[in-house]
Amino acid sequence: MSHKMLDDHNKIDQRNSSEESEDHDKQPSSDRPSTLVNSEPVHFESCCDFSARRSLPSSVDPPPKYLDSSTSVQLMSAVMSVIESTMQTLDNDLRALSLQIHDHPELMFEERYAHDILCDFMERHGFAVTRHYLGLETAWRAEFTHGKGGRTLGINSEMDALPVIGHACGHNLIAVSGVGVAIAVKSALQTYDVPGTVVLLGTPGEEGGAGKAVMLERGGYRDIDVCLMCHPAAGPAGSVSLGSCLAMQSLEAEFFGRSAHAGNAPWDGTNALDAAFLAYSSISVLRQQIKPDHRIHGVIQGSKSAVNVIPDYAGMRWLVRAPTKDQLSVLVERVKACFEGAALATSCRFKLTEGIPYHDLRQNSVLAACFSHAVSNSFGMNIGQRGFGASTDFGNVSYALPSLHPSFAIPTVANGGNHTPAFAESARSTDAHKATMTVSKGLAWTGFRVIADDELFQQVRGAYESGPAGVQQLILSDSDTHQTEL
**Residues at the interface with Zn ion (CB under 5 A):** 169, 486
Q: Which is nearer to Zn ion, 97 or 390 (CB)?
A: 390
**Comparison of 167 and 294: residue with beta carbon closer to Zn ion:** 167
**Whole-number minimum distance, CB 301 to Zn ion, in Å?**
21
Which helix (H) or strand (E) segment holds residue 322: the answer is strand 313-322
CB of 191 to Zn ion, least distance (A): 33
State the amino acid at position 63 in one-letter form: P
Whole-number CA gyration radius for the chain: 25
116-125 contacts, C-beta under 8 A, 24 or more apart: 118/142, 118/157, 118/159, 118/175, 118/179, 118/202, 119/202, 121/93, 121/97, 121/179, 122/179, 122/182, 122/200, 125/183, 125/186
CB of residue 58 to Zn ion, shortest distance in Å? 51
Cα–Cα distances in angstroms (integers) from residue 306 to residues 3, 15, 178, 287, 299, in the given order: 80, 88, 50, 32, 20
Least Cβ distance, residue 190 to Zn ion (angstroms): 32
| Separation between Cα atoms, residue 396 and residue 377, nearest integer Å | 30
With respect to Zn ion, which residue has the nearer C-beta, 290 or 486? 486
Give the bridge partners for 321, in sequence order: 248, 295
Residue 378 or 484 with smaller CB distance to Zn ion: 484
Q: How far apart are CA 84 and CA 24, in angstroms?
A: 28
DSSP β-ladder status, 128-131 and 239-241: unpaired
Do residues 84 and 448 lie in contact, with contact meaning Cβ atoms separated by under 8 Å?
no
Rounded CA separation 476/295 (Å): 12
> Closer to Zn ion at the Cβ: 343 or 486?
486
Q: Whose Cβ is closer to Zn ion: residue 169's or residue 199's?
A: 169
Q: Give least dist CB 220 to Zn ion, A.
A: 19
Least gap, CB of 361 to Zn ion (angstroms): 12
Tell me which residue of 244, 248, 247, 486 sits closest to 386, measured CA to CA.
244
Q: What is the smallest separation between the CB atom of 162 and Zn ion, expressed in angstroms?
A: 7
Query: Least distance to Zn ion from the beta carbon of 422, Å?
Result: 14
Residue nearest to Zn ion (CB): 169
Give the residue with the Cβ less far from Zn ion, 62 or 421: 421
SS3 329: helix
Give the residue among 253, 390, 386, 367 at the shortest CA–CA distance from 321: 390
When the beta carbons of 311 and 417 are compared against Zn ion, the nearer one is 417
| Rounded Cα–Cα distance for residues 409 and 287 (Å) | 30
Residues 209, 211: Cα–Cα separation, whole Å: 5
Distances (CA, A) of 351 to 260, 275, 348, 434: 21, 12, 10, 48
Considering the complex, state which of residue 450 and residue 486 has its C-beta at the smaller distance from Zn ion. 486
Q: Which is nearer to Zn ion, 157 or 270 (CB)?
A: 157
- Helices (DSSP H) in 104-204: which residue ranges? 112-124, 171-192
Closest approach, Cβ 230 to Zn ion, in A, equals 11
CB of 390 to Zn ion, least distance (A): 7
